[in-house]
Structure 1
Amino acid sequence: MSLNIVIMAAGKGTRMKSALPKVLHKLAGRSLLQHVLNMTEGLGGARNVVITGHGAEAVEAAVAGPGVQFVRQMPQLGTGHAIQQAVPAIEGDGTTLILNGDVPLIKQATARRLVEACDGKALVLLTIHLSDPSGYGRILRQGGTADGHVLAIVEHKDASPEQRAISEGYTGMMAAPTAALKRWVSQLNNNNVQGEYYLTDIVAMAVAEGVPVLGIAAPNETEVLGVNSPVQLADLERRFQREQANDLLEAGVRLADPARFDLRGTLSCGQDVEIDVNCVFEGQVSLGDGVRIGANCVIRNASIGAGARIHEFTHIDGEAQGVKVGAGALVGPFARLRPGADLGDEVHIGNFVEVKNSTMAKGAKANHLAYLGDATIGERVNYGAGSITANYDGANKHRTEIGADVHVGSNCVLIAPVVIGAGATIGGGSTISKNVAAGELSVARGKQVAIAGWTRPVKKR
């Protein structure tokens, strides 16, 4: 049986007070709409039909991809009017699942329940019981009982005081028989307070035709909360982050404070991982057994080996290339690892050291105030404080190669391309522009001169 998935994403989001379309505001590093699209993967829908309107071009550019089709709602005249625009893109006689692009945390299991309950035959509504359902359409059931058949939905603005006292609200998500849905939305009118075409009016049409109308309660409030303001977005962010933190805690990860933890991607952890407060993980991050992450670190697209210690205030950003930190390595505090940094086992990267597109073999150390860019560093190299690889000539990048057991003194400049042979020593303060043979001492600096009897100038008065 064919499944169409329709996602309503046309709203302006006036209360967001932003030029950015509401569905493109981010939750845990991804847009609200992208969360919904990701959830639909695996449901077996032939396509996702996304209804755009306000900021349509930006929305479509942001989420375009295989299996995503767009229709536009111009102007926006209500939810029923939105589905009317989608009708030409809906195919088959199976089920149509309708979701909201600003309700990002709906779970796949919940969506699947709607689809299975519909089975191309029943109209199935996702509902929620709230202590304060203000703003939600109210579910009217036969006899006013909790298990009575659903008769209709009345929008909050059209509801009487008695109807507003009903605690069961409609979440805006449903599954409907496709052929019937097309027929029902073609019969909608806008005879209501808002002068809009309400999708909820199809409930009464289904009842009149004898089509079963089912109300399935969502497992929890968080799954069905929409975002209409920055306050709601912030609340949902914290709910989602706490949920992710709880999953990690259940898996054995030690979080110093689950309320001060942010995951904006995926994080896999081995045993006995410890994460201190105010750490942010983005993209794809993996932490091996016994890894310890200090407070206030940002780690994006990186793999960190077993037993490594990432000290406080370290920034790791692998971008597309990724960053690799070997087992037992020590990084930070205040270190920066950029794309292509590949640190071997037991490497030491200290405070205010930056590494980019460079490989450091086992036991190499750069402990203070250094830059390593486009370099290959051998085992046990000691790279002095204040030393840099000058890898850019103004047009092209060049590589520096440093053999095993090299000692680079403080405040050196290695002008690439240059090769430092194994066991060589570079004297502090040297500017090296030629290759250095293995085992050699190379010193390239001006001769120290002492001027006897020199007097420091005095300011004129």
Structure 2
Amino acid sequence: MPSTHIPSPLQVVVLAAGKGTRMKSRLPKVLHRLAGRPMLGHVLAAAAALDPERVVAVTGHGAADVAGYLEGTEWASARFDIRTVVQEPQLGTGHAVRQALPELAGDGTTLILYGDVPLTSATTLRALVAASAPTEHAPHGRLALLTIELPDPTGYGRIVRNASGEVLAIVEHKDATASQRLIRETNTGLMAVPTRQLRHWLPRLRDDNAQGEFYLTDIVAMAVDDGVPVAGVAAPNPTEVAGVNSPAQLAALERALQAQIAQDLLEQGVRLADPARLDVRGTLTCGQDVEIDVNCVFHGDVTLGDGVRIGPHCVIGNARIEADAVIHAYTHIDGERAGVSVGAGALIGPFARLRPGAKLGREVHIGNFVEVKNSTLANGAKANHLAYLGDAQVGERVNFGAGSITANYDGANKHRTVIEADVHVGSNCVLVAPVTLGAGGTVGGGSTITKHTPPGALSVARGKQVVIANWSRPAKAPAQAPGQPQPDAPGPEA
């Protein structure tokens, strides 16, 4: 493909009206997730890389849900204008694109995509659009089709060429002759069309075919009749043009995508214990010498610094983990919108939970069954066992004892706890916020702290220990032999 020039203006039509009956779901088909993102999102992300001026989504089943997704936060800052139109009734692909015509401005090129064909790369789309660009022999542009050869093309439209290899038509499987069904080059449905020609061809579509629908592919024959060249652009592999019509197909595409992600990570130098047991449902960026054990799930935006080691069975989302940190097995990190940051050399887990707003400094230790939420832990702070730190500011070298918690919620509002540097909090303590523990202080085990403590002091707040000498525990009554009378039950005065 010698040219990558994209004719301007570029507009994109995404067909997203299908019900997806075989998905057996109330959710519109194009909103089913692949690698953590709706299929429609994958399509739009690839299109966005071409910098279109406008995207028009043709909706139908679940139109309100699809429109809600397009208006949501993921696309709120999109550089292109997003519009939706509704196809009702649904009378075929040609009829669907016809609904988008009033939203297409000017001339240039229109790229037609499908919301349930999620993995076409931006590189392939760029080549497809470039193939439609005007040339000396086609001053008004060309109709460019994305095609692929399949071992078994049953059910797909066939690409019909003349003796010199020029595309003459696309014949749908149900309308194809026996000889045409032997053709293995098939139509993917994706095409780039000069917008001016698209306006001319769509009103001429007819529904006199086996399905009684308006086929978009019929514009190929119209282009040939009008002397507009038709270019065929080969897709690099079947995964890029695979559509989804069932949960099984979605699962197969998920595995194909995850295998490609794993391969890309391996080529970057990431050590994967087993590439087949990795799930990336967002963006994973890795430095050098990163190691990832089996059955880890990454979602949202995750960055792993040089030398980071991730143990088995971890779930990590929206987090930045700095160099040489170790995340032990079964740790759950989810930053959501606030994010989580883990400092260099930190040790986290096993079985730890970091929630949104957790910001850990260098060499912080968060041990088994410790939960941190909306809290900052300075360099060298430790909470090694069975603890909760919520809405807290923890200073350097603090040691937070096993079973201790910050009681940050009074039933109506959240309050902060400040633990200054070098404080030692004993086991099974409750720090009732708002409260500040002065630097270098110590809190005795089992204390409930409700007032600020001064620096360097020992603070103890617990019930006085009582010792009763020579105390006997209650004993059970001796068992009675069968048939012997049982002692009377105690009366009211007992």
TM-score w.r.t. length of structure 1: 0.97
User: How many residue pairs were aligned?
Assistant: 458
Q: Which residue of 2 aligns with 1:81?
A: 95
Alignment partners' CA distance in 1, 2:381 and 2:118: 45
Two-structure CA RMSD over aligned residues (Å): 1.4
Which consecutive residues of structure 1, in runs of 5 or more, have no partner in the other structure?
A: none
Q: In the alignment, is residue 118 of structure 1 matched against residue 132 of structure 2?
A: yes
Post-superposition offset of 1:160: 2.5
Structure (1 or 2) with the larger CA radius of gyration: 2
Post-superposition offset of 1:140: 0.9
Any idea what SS the aligned residue of 2:276 has? helix
Q: In the alignment, is residue 139 of structure 1 matched against residue 146 of structure 2?
A: no
Cα deviation, 1:135-178, whole Å, max 9, x if unaligned, reads 211111113xxx61111111122223322221111001001111
Cα deviation, 1:306-348, whole Å, max 9, x if unaligned, reads 1100000000011111111011000000000011111111110
Alignment partners' CA distance in 1, 2:453 and 2:100: 70
Q: Which residue of 2 aligns with 1:63?
A: 70
Counterparts of 1:352-371 in structure 2 under 5 Å?
352-371=369-388
Which consecutive residues of structure 2, in runs of 5 or more, have no partner in the other structure?
A: 1-7, 134-139, 480-485, 487-494
Instruction: Select the residue among 18, 27, 30 that pairs with 1:11.
Output: 18
Post-superposition offset of 1:457: 5.8
In the alignment, residue 108 of structure 1 is paired with which amino acid? A
Counterparts of 1:360-439 in structure 2 under 5 Å?
360-439=377-456
Q: Which residue of 1 aligns with 2:44?
A: 37
Instruction: Select the residue among 101, 106, 130 that pairs with 2:115.
Output: 101
Post-superposition offset of 1:93: 2.2
Q: Which residue of 1 aligns with 2:332?
A: 315
Q: Which residue of 2 aligns with 1:455?
A: 473
Alignment partners' CA distance in 2, 1:419 and 1:57: 50
Alignment partners' CA distance in 2, 1:379 and 1:121: 66
Cα deviation, 1:180-234, whole Å, max 9, x if unaligned, reads 1111110111111111110111111111111111111101111111111111111
In the alignment, residue 116 of structure 1 is paired with which amino acid? A
Cα deviation, 1:363-397, whole Å, max 9, x if unaligned, reads 11101000000111111111111000001111111
Post-superposition offset of 1:262: 1.1
In the alignment, residue 83 of structure 2 is paired with which amino acid? Q
Post-superposition offset of 1:5: 0.9
Alignment partners' CA distance in 1, 2:68 and 2:58: 13
Q: Which residue of 2 aligns with 1:50?
A: 57
Q: Which residue of 2 aligns with 1:127?
A: 147
Post-superposition offset of 1:456: 2.2
Alignment partners' CA distance in 1, 2:474 and 2:153: 80
Counterparts of 1:201-216 in structure 2 under 5 Å?
201-216=218-233
Alignment partners' CA distance in 2, 1:93 and 1:425: 75
Alignment partners' CA distance in 1, 2:128 and 2:361: 50
Any idea what SS the aligned residue of 1:45 has? coil
Identity of aligned residues (%): 67
In the alignment, residue 363 of structure 2 is paired with which amino acid? E
Instruction: Select the residue among 82, 85, 104 that pairs with 1:90.
Output: 104
Q: Which residue of 2 aligns with 1:175?
A: 192
Q: Which residue of 2 aligns with 1:444?
A: 461
Alignment partners' CA distance in 2, 1:171 and 1:457: 83
Alignment partners' CA distance in 2, 1:136 and 1:91: 32
In the alignment, residue 316 of structure 1 is paired with which amino acid? I
In the alignment, residue 308 of structure 2 is paired with which amino acid? V
Post-superposition offset of 1:444: 1.0
Alignment partners' CA distance in 2, 1:254 and 1:62: 36
Q: Which residue of 1 aligns with 2:291?
A: 274
Any idea what SS the aligned residue of 2:40 has? helix
Post-superposition offset of 1:95: 1.2
Q: Which residue of 1 aligns with 2:86?
A: 72
Q: Which residue of 2 aligns with 1:293?
A: 310
Could you tell which deviates more after superposition, 52-61 or 40-49? Answer: 40-49
In the alignment, residue 459 of structure 2 is paired with which amino acid? S
Structure 1 consecutive aligned stretches of length 4 or more whose deviation exceeds 3 Å: 457-461
Cα deviation, 1:387-437, whole Å, max 9, x if unaligned, reads 000011111111111111111111110101111111111111111111111
Counterparts of 1:156-305 in structure 2 under 5 Å?
156-305=173-322
Post-superposition offset of 1:359: 0.9
In the alignment, residue 192 of structure 2 is paired with which amino acid? A
Post-superposition offset of 1:282: 1.1
Alignment partners' CA distance in 1, 2:21 and 2:460: 66
